[in-house]
Amino acid sequence: MRHGKHTFKVGRTGSHRRCMIANMLKSLIENERITTTVVKAKELRRHADKMITLAKKNDLAAKRNAISELKIIFNELSTKDARQVKGGDKSLFARDRLVIEKLFGELRERFSQRNGGYTRIIRKNDRIGDSAPTCYIEYLK
């Protein structure tokens, strides 16, 4: 029995669903607004709010949990690249590192006084191909 188990299955296997949520979370943190179906947005909202809660804790364990949830792999920088990054050139970082910096920097400061409800879902019209209901999901300003 599935008592107390809350997961939208979204018609995918567990591993596919976790990777899809991680990719959508990265895009949401990076762009602060994405377009998706309503069912995926409702599931994504649960995870997106948890990411902000982790960012507000701002300790090493929270950063490691966020990295794990977002499935981030840090690539080693060469010594030359590391020198350039110390000089202020962040273009050498992969997209994933920039997502973590934004989550624990800008978004943490924006929501520091707010106690939940960090995302908004705005419904759009149905998708052309399969008539699936679509929406925007975004972080509040």
CATH number of residue 85's parent domain = 3.90.1030.10
Does 105 reside within a domain?
Answer: yes
| Per-residue confidence in pLDDT tens, the chain, 141 aa | 889 888 788 889 999 999 999 999 999 999 999 999 999 999 999 999 999 999 999 999 999 999 999 998 877 888 888 888 888 887 777 788 889 999 999 999 999 999 999 999 999 999 999 999 999 999 999
Give me the pLDDT at residue 4, please: 86
What's the structural domain count of the chain? Answer: 1
Q: Are 24 and 69 in contact (CB under 8 A)?
A: no
In a domain, 33, yes or no: yes
SS3 state at 123: strand
The helix or strand, by DSSP H or E, that contains position 133, with its residue range, turns out to be: strand 133-139
| H or E element in which residue 21 lies | helix 14-31
3 in any annotated domain:
no
Residue 94 structure tokens: 């992969």
Q: Identify the CA nearest to 74 among candidates 86, 59, 82, 48.
A: 82
Structural domain of 67: 14-139
Distance CA 28, CA 19 (A): 14
- Gap between the Cα atoms of 54 and 61, Å rounded: 9
With respect to residue 100, please indicate whether it lies within any of the assigned structural domains: yes
Specify if 96 maps to a domain: yes
How far, in Å, CA of 34 to CA of 104, rounded? 20
The pLDDT assigned to 23 comes to 96
